C-alpha cells in the first residue's frame, strides 16, 4: 500500500502538487438537509466526522476534500488539531455552496473565512465554486481570485462545471481554474467533457468514484475484480488513477479506507480498461442533465426556476 507521505501527485497548472488520492468527507458524520436520501442529521447512531477523519489521518490520508455544504468542517478541524499532522503535510480543499454564491462576493469571502476558522488553518490548498450558479458564479470566482492574492487560498478550482460554464467564466476570469471536480466513474465517463478540460490544462477530480457502492455487483466490475484478486472498490479506484483522475473515495470504516488506497501496486490491462470505459449508458447522461438543471440553483431563492438554467449543455 502506498503511504500518503509518498503519495503520487499531479502538478496543477499553477505548478502546485496535488495528491492523486484523497479522503472525501461528504455525508461523514452529517447528512445535509437537501442531500438525496437525507433524514434528520446527524443521526444519533452515526460516528462523528471528527472520529472518521481522525481514522483517515491515522490510515495515512493527507488530502481532505471538504465543503461548506457538507456541514462538518468544524468536526474535520477537530480531527486535524488532534492528529498532530503538520499543516505542511496536509492538502486541504473546500468548496463554497450555492446559497453563498447566490448571496454575492462578500458572502463568499465570509464563508471562506469561516471555513478557515472551522478547519483551524490560515490558508486552503484549494478552494472551489461548488456549482456554477447562473448569473452568480463568475462574480464568486473573481472573489476567490482576490482571496488567492491575499494568501488565503493557494489554488483555485471549480466543481460541476460543464464546458459552457467554463467558457463563460474565462471571459472574465484572470486565473484559469486548476481543477474541475465532477462525477467520474465508468458509469458516468463523459469523454468529450474530460478531453476539453484536459485541453485547457484543468485537472479533473473525481467524486462518486465508487458510485456510493452501487456498482460493486455490476458483472463487468465483478469480473475484472475476480481476474485480479481485488475488490470492486479497488477496480473502480484503479480505473480512476490509471486514467489520471484525482480519486476521492469515502468510507467511515478504517478497513475500507485502507482498501480504497490500495490502487498503486497493480494495474488494469488494456482489455480491462476498454470494458470499463464502455459502461456509460445514454440514461446516465440523461440523469446527469437532470441533476445539473436541479443543482445549479439548488437551495437558492431560484430553486426550481429552470428557465434560468442554460440549455446549451454538453452532457457527454
Measured CA to CA, the distance from residue 14 to residue 53 in angstroms comes to: 28
Rounded to the nearest 10°, the torsion over CA 10, 13, 14, 19 is -20
d(Cα 155, Cα 186) in Å, to the nearest integer?
A: 28
In order of 92, 107, 130, the CA distances from 172 in angstroms are 27, 20, 18
Which of 52, 57, 64, 47 is closest to 119 using CA atoms?
64
The 3-class SS string of the chain reads CCCHHHCCEEECCCCCEEECECEECCCCCCCCCCCCCCCCCCCCCCCCHHHHHHHHHHHCCCEEECCHHHCCHHHHHHHHHHHCCCHHHCEEEEEECHHHHHHCHHHHHHHHHHHHHHHCCCCEEEEEECCCCCCCHHHHHHHHHHHHHCCCEEEEEEECCCHHHHHHHHCCCCCCCCEEEEECECCECCHHHHHHHHHCCCEEEEECCCHHHCCCCCHHHHHHHHHHCCCHHHHHHHHHHHHCCEECCCCCCHHHHHHHHCCCCCCCCHHHHHHHHCCCCHHHHHHHHHHHHHHCCCCCCCCCCHHHCCCCCCCC
Q: Which residues are catalytic?
A: 70
Amino acid at each position: 500500500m502506498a503511504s500518503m507521505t509518498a503519495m503520487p501527485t499531479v502538478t496543477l497548472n499553477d505548478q502546485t502538487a496535488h495528491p492523486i488520492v484523497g479522503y472525501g468527507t461528504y455525508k461523514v458524520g452529517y447528512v445535509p438537509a437537501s442531500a438525496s436520501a437525507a433524514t434528520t442529521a446527524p443521526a444519533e447512531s452515526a460516528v462523528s466526522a471528527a472520529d472518521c477523519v481522525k481514522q483517515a489521518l491515522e490510515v495515512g490520508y493527507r488530502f481532505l476534500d471538504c465543503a461548506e455544504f457538507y456541514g462538518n468542517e468544524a468536526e474535520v478541524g477537530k480531527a486535524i488539531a488532534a492528529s498532530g499532522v503538520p499543516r505542511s503535510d496536509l492538502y486541504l480543499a473546500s468548496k463554497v455552496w450555492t446559497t453563498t454564491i447566490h448571496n454575492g462576493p462578500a458572502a463568499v469571502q465570509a464563508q471562506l473565512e469561516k471555513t478557515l476558522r472551522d478547519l483551524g488553518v490560515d490558508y486552503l490548498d484549494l478552494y472551489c465554486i461548488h456549482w456554477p450558479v447562473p448569473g452568480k458564479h463568475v462574480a464568486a470566482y473573481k472573489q476567490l481570485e482576490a482571496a488567492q492574492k491575499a494568501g488565503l487560498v493557494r489554488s483555485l478550482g471549480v466543481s460541476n462545471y460543464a464546458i459552457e460554464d467554463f467558457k463563460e467564466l474565462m471571459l472574465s476570469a484572470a486565473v484559469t481554474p486548476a481543477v474541475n471536480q465532477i462525477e467520474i466513474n465508468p458509469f458516468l465517463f463523459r469523454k468529450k467533457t474530460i478531453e476539453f478540460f484536459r485541453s485547457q490544462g484543468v485537472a479533473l477530480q473525481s467524486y462518486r468514484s465508487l458510485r456510493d457502492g452501487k456498482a460493486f455487483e455490476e458483472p463487468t466490475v465483478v469480473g475484472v475484480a475476480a481476474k485480479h484478486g481485488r475488490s470492486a472498490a479497488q477496480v473502480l479506484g484503479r480505473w480512476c488513477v490509471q486514467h489520471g483522475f484525482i480519486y476521492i473515495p469515502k468510507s467511515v470504516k478504517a478497513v475500507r479506507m485502507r482498501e480504497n488506497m490500495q490502487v498503486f501496486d497493480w494495474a488494469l490491462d488494456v482489455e480491462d480498461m476498454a470494458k470499463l470505459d464502455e459502461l456509460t449508458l445514454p440514461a446516465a447522461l440523461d440523469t446527469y442533465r437532470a441533476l445539473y438543471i436541479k443543482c445549479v440553483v439548488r437551495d437558492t431563492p431560484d430553486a426550481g426556476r429552470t428557465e434560468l438554467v442554460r440549455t446549451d449543455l454538453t452532457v457527454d
